[in-house]
Amino acid sequence: MGKPRLICALVCLLLFLCGQVILMITKVEATSNVHIVYLGGKQHDDPMLKTDSHHDLLASVVGSKEIASELMVYSYKHGFSGFAAKLSESQAQKVAELPGVVRVIPNSLHRLQTTRSWDFLGLSAHSPVNTLHNSSMGDGVIIGVLDTGIWPEAKAFSDKGLGPIPSHWKGVCESGKRFKAKSHCNKKIIGARWFVEGFLAEYGQPLNTSGNREFFSPRDASGHGTHTASTAAGTFIDNVSYKGLALGTIRGGAPRARLAIYKVCWNVLGGQCSSADILKAFDEAIHDGVDVLSLSIGSSIPLFSDIDERDGIATGSFHAVAKGITVVCGAANDGPFAQTVQNTAPWILTVAASSMDRAFPTPITLGNNKTFLGILIHWLITKCNVFFDRSKFHCPTWFPCSVCQFLSVDNSMVAGKVVLCFTSMNPGAVRSASEVVKEAGGVGLIVAKNPSEALYPCTDGFPCVEVDYEIGTRILFYIRSTRSPVVKLSPSKTIVGKPVLAKVAHFSSRGPNSIAPAILKPDIAAPGVNILAATSPLDRFQDGGYVMHSGTSMATPHVSGIAALLKAIHPDWSPAAIKSAIVTTGFPIFAEGSPQKLADPFDYGGGIANPNGAADPGLVYDMGTDDYVNYLCAMDYNNTAISRLTGKPTVCPTEGPSILNINLPSITIPNLRNSVVLTRTVTNVGASNSIYRVVIEVPFCCSVSVEPHVLVFNHTTKKITFSVTVSTTYEVNTGYFFGSITWIDGVHTVRSPFKEMASELMVHSYKHGFSGFAAKLTESQAQKVAQLPGVVRVIPNSFHKLQTTRSWDFLGLSSHSPVNALHNSSMGDGIIIGIFDTGIWPESKAFSDEGLGPIPSSWKGACEPGKQFDPKIHCNRKIIGARWIIDGMLADYGQLLNTSGNQEFLSPRDANGHGTHLASTAAGAFVDNVSYKGLGLGTARGGAPRARLAIYKVCWSVFGGWCSAADVLKAFDEAIHDGVDVLSLSLGLPPPLFSDIDKRGGIDFGSFHAVANGITVVCSAGNDGPSAQTVLNTAPWILSVAASTIDRAFPTAITLGNNETFSVFLHSSKSLRFGFLTTSCLHHYFQNSACEYLSVNASMVAGKVVLCFTTVTVVPAVIVLSAAEVVKEAGGVGLIVAKNPSNDMYPCINGFPCIEVDYEIGTRMLYYIRSTSFPVVKLSPSKTIVGKPVLAKVAHFSSRGPNSKSPAILKPDIAAPGVNILAAASPLDTFQDGGYVMHSGTSMAAPHVAGIVALLKGIHPDWSPAAIKSALVTTAWTNHPSGFPIFAEGSPQKLANPFDFGGGIANPNGAADPGLVYDMGTADYINYLCAMDYNITAISRLTGLPTVCPYEELSILDVNLPSITIPNLRNSSTLTRTVTNVGASNSIYRAVIEPPFGTSVSVKPNVLVFNNKTKKVTFTVTVTTAHQVNTGYFFGSITWTDGVHTVRSPLSVRTEILQPYISEN
């Protein structure tokens, strides 16, 4: 009998890619027949001979020179050799087979990426000594701009005072429609060309120049190219403003530099640029003699490889850089999401966008004389009008009346009014809302949205003002407080300098690099927000020939102008030297994002450009063509492809170079395991005799050493090589940590950004197959094997006892440990947890009452009958009560509930499984041998498995699950009567929030009364993350819960036909039991690769696995599900989705394999597909990994602070596991497996905390809800239990802060013995309501008691929370807190202060002494800021410790010199 064989089933990978026609919203169909024929480097220098040879070659295929001439689009003859021609597929195949033809590739399209800035960068024209003047303002340097052309009449392009055209210029000025070379070119615009043949051949129809407002000439129709050209090199123009804002003198960065215009982008479908045209422009620019090339053009995810000519930019720029031309490109506008940066080749200088120290605050004065400062979206005049108040209409709670993107208004109600709306979507929602309001006769629009500083265009001439959710909510509360709300919109102001702080723009694309993560991108940031520059008069938003635009398109020409100045000062510097000088001298800043954070190198590379520093950097990291070839070899591109790019025969060394040794001015280590050594070489460009010493800012994860640590330069030693050794001892997968290596000589500071990601298991990294074995070895044998050549590591086998709800073991509540809060509380026995949700499926084993004692005597509730729910059968000693409350929903819904159509029961029975999942998570009994599709096999249970459950069904299967505020309030009323101890609510409304005293909110109002009766109320924080100001359930008496991952993962191996294996995350665990079959392989089929627009040909897809990409982040679950349905219906056997990284698993079609990868892995898979005619893939079963090396993180979807209603109240309070939580389900749940399912959301996190609260209540029955909340917040983990910091998934990922997770991840055992608590009662909450300026009548209505606020105004900062948040610190602020000792009677606590950056913090007294008589002590905290600008939030802590307990209060401080709300005066 033969040995059994392992049979690997291979499935073909099919990529749906639109031939990388990247830009078009509507794809240019495959009828296009433009192909680029690439012949490599120049064979000779005679351009005419080259052109003739191109025609001869084409004629040999098409039959004659005449036909060849008709089909020829371009001849490339300067930087490289080749041509573009219109060919059929068969003709293209024949050309590809001709001798000397390197490659034939289809054409592709690119898209456009959409003044005070120069003073902000230190290049004031009034300063006699700076880089601007030292370079003669760039005189003699030629900047080539590839864009939409130029409007030559703009004053910015006057040649007054300029000398003759530089002698090295060899270009031309081409005439065309409304562009005459003799009159429109001058000594400023020294050249102008236009390239359209590639686009026209691809577009497949005539360009309607009237309908599209376009010119067959270098003339600019859209204004984009005019804007970028004038930003880079425009001359001085006085008295320029935009709608009266930013009045002053504008100019370009290099105002005496010359411009060479290459029009390659056309005003069709938002701006289209053909690769063939771009390559031709590069070819001509190399010939023409430009010094710098500026391209505000990009593609989209997925990116082409560096050696793929379809990219156009990477290929053309390689040849330009080889000729000494610095190429500057935009990073793209797909931020703030990770892995979205474009133009990633290391020879390109890639630019992110920042704001600058200028703002346009717009006063909004309400009828109560409160004034708020918004941000101008469009020019305003002073207006005083009434508000349009949506609440005056009957607006069903499920209809988003106030949401900008769904705005629908009544003309009679809106005419003459200003409208307030809320949005979480893109600028298109603002534009749409303004058009609706204007058409209805409204006179203005106020948009509340996630904060950013970019001014998006509104309807022309219509007043639009942007505010954040906090201010929008305060305006909304005013509208709701009066019958006749009025508002005055005053003219905007221009503020320059302090107190405005520059930040990396929200829209700016972020790293890491999805092609080569070891190559840092972007390289640098520059101003790209609200940039005022010249434009075409056809620009609908222009004002007097000028306009404000935002985008990396605007940042790019800033760096191009700087590069021109540096080239003028240092004409012999290479492009790499110029890049190094700019990167190593950049300034650090904040980054707008979701939420805002301190910027890191993935936001801005080396920082914000510092031109004066870059002119004298001291040292540079130089490179040439050979270095770039080494990079290509390190990327494992084959010799043929590299030779094709370079135009020279290239053979990579047998032992490939390390990509870490590429001589960049930055260091990025994407997959550090133990230790790595890399090298860099610096060139001295400063004083000959110099001594530099190293200063290392070590990333958290690692140790770093540099040898030598002193560099000595003299007349003979110009270059020195040093080595960097980086080591880590961590055995968990981490995110990136950041540091720097800086060389200092006392004059120069040469800083290289430094990043590592420690990675023990390569869950997010790729490896070439997996080689190894398992064997039975003695310790000595294992030691000998470990020393053999080629053996990476020998590790002992281990056994894990898996808990399906691993979350409880992760939180330290293992049922196998005899001493912890689980056992000390008798597993919550006697505690009653009330669940407000969709009901319960009582037959689930999780709700067995086996072993439970009698129902607690405190219980006064009932078990109500209904459809398929019999109290005598379905209630027991576990489910001790069950009510269903529906009248409020039915009254609001306005029709009978169709229980069959909506799969619903008029009873406590749970139809969709949500409530069942939560109840079993909080208090489910032990159930053995539970798994989900084979994953996470083990014992499932709740956090308090002996606690009792009271079910309140308030949510119904209408519109995806809806819960009426009236029903929620009724449930609170019943629960208070029934005697519950804890209430768990995974419910909430998205912004705008109702006020704390508004009954329509339901939860805030009802929970106030529950807490007053000693019931702890636990609520989910919401699933609208990672955007800031999205947290829900923000009342200070509520315990609001964010969601985290746990130390468990389900890696899935994907093996390609080239034996490259990726270990990635399962997208839908149900997919892994699918049997795969070997199928025939498929040639590339180019269609739209975006998951959200997937359209497939069934005959091409049948039996294949499909790879698609998505950049949509709002509803990714819907995108994945839709794409999976399309693929399955077409006969496909699997789906691989490349998307922004996150760890949560979205539902897919039951039984259909869906796997999620990030853009980096998706891109590498794509390159494999493109490299072979028959791509195949093997999808292996997923594994369950618990503990190391998996690191917990705050979940991507988890809503973030600050609190939009009252930012001084920290929300969320705490985080708990909420990702891939396995718990009981209704059998009607389409995704359930054996009565269990995995779900993710803060809905899953809230019952974890409810279970913990039940345990704490069991140990400390006399603790108040505030004491329980304090114990949880002050003992939470801010580091992973392994000691590693907790990250927050976001856009991009970062270290977590209090707005992500409050006090941290819940630590139940610590909370059971916190030492001190910050206690509160009803009187404290009333003080909070008074501090919020709610009126006495409203407060009395909430409390049910006559209430009078004290005459002396209360400070919200003094509310006795276990956290401190100061949202508007100007100079100094003093606040108080009171702590209660719940530990040993005789205790002494000392304060340990971690002050937020730029602040000083003092505590008095700094020692607290407790004894039998002194149980409570009050202390004061004084926080003083050193900042003189408006900042984002900085974070620190105040910790009291007695040597046993650590009582930590998170401290969050934002300096606001310019207040967002001011008095009328």
Burial 476-485 (b: 16+ CB within 10 A, else e): bbbbbbeeeb
Residue 1010 CA to chain centroid, in angstroms?
38
Annotated active-site residue 553? The verdict is: yes
SS3 annotation, 709-746? CEEEECCCCCEEEEEEEEEECCCCCCCEEEEEEEEECC
C-alpha span between 378 and 599 (Å, rounded): 28
Residue type, 875: C
C-alpha span between 1371 and 1085 (Å, rounded): 63
Instruction: Provide φ and ψ at 319, rounded to 5°.
Output: -70, -35
Instruction: Provide φ and ψ at 711, rounded to 5°.
Output: -110, 125
In DSSP terms, 879 is beta-bridged to 949
C-alpha span between 958 and 952 (Å, rounded): 17
Annotated active-site residue 600? The verdict is: no
* Cβ partners under 8 Å of residue 719, min gap 6: 681, 682, 683, 684
C-alpha span between 971 and 976 (Å, rounded): 9
Report residue 531 as tokens: 């940039």
C-alpha span between 923 and 943 (Å, rounded): 6
Q: Rounded to 10 degrees, what is the CA torsion of 1206, 1210, 1216, 1220?
A: 50
H or E stretch at 1222: strand 1221-1224
C-alpha span between 524 and 506 (Å, rounded): 15
In DSSP terms, 836 is beta-bridged to 952, 985
The answer to whether the beta carbons of residues 156 and 253 sit under 8 Å apart is no
Instruction: Provide φ and ψ at 985, rounded to 5°.
Output: -125, 115
Strands (E) located in 77-171:
82-86, 103-106, 109-112, 142-147
Report residue 682 as tokens: 């610096």
* Cβ partners under 8 Å of residue 426, min gap 6: none
**Residue 55 Cα distances to 33, 49, 1138, angstroms:** 17, 10, 42
- Which one of 35, 224, 570, 1239 is the catalytic residue? 224
The answer to whether the beta carbons of residues 1309 and 1276 sit under 8 Å apart is no
The answer to whether the beta carbons of residues 964 and 953 sit under 8 Å apart is no
The rounded radius of gyration (Å) of the Cα atoms in the chain is: 33
Per the rule left: phi > 0, alpha: psi between -120 and 50, beta: everything else, 633 is alpha
In DSSP terms, 105 is beta-bridged to 36
Q: Which of 1351, 1322, 1311, 1452 is nearest to 1394 (CA)?
A: 1452
Handedness of CA 62, 67, 71, 74 (dihedral sign): positive
Strands 292-295 vs 72-76: parallel, antiparallel or unpaired? unpaired
Q: Which of 1307, 1415, 1298 is nearest to 1362 (CA)?
A: 1298
In DSSP terms, 293 is beta-bridged to 144, 327
- Which one of 119, 147, 622, 1358 is the catalytic residue? 147
Annotated active-site residue 572? The verdict is: no
- Which one of 305, 553, 931, 1204 is the catalytic residue? 553
By annotation, the residues acting in catalysis are 147, 224, 553
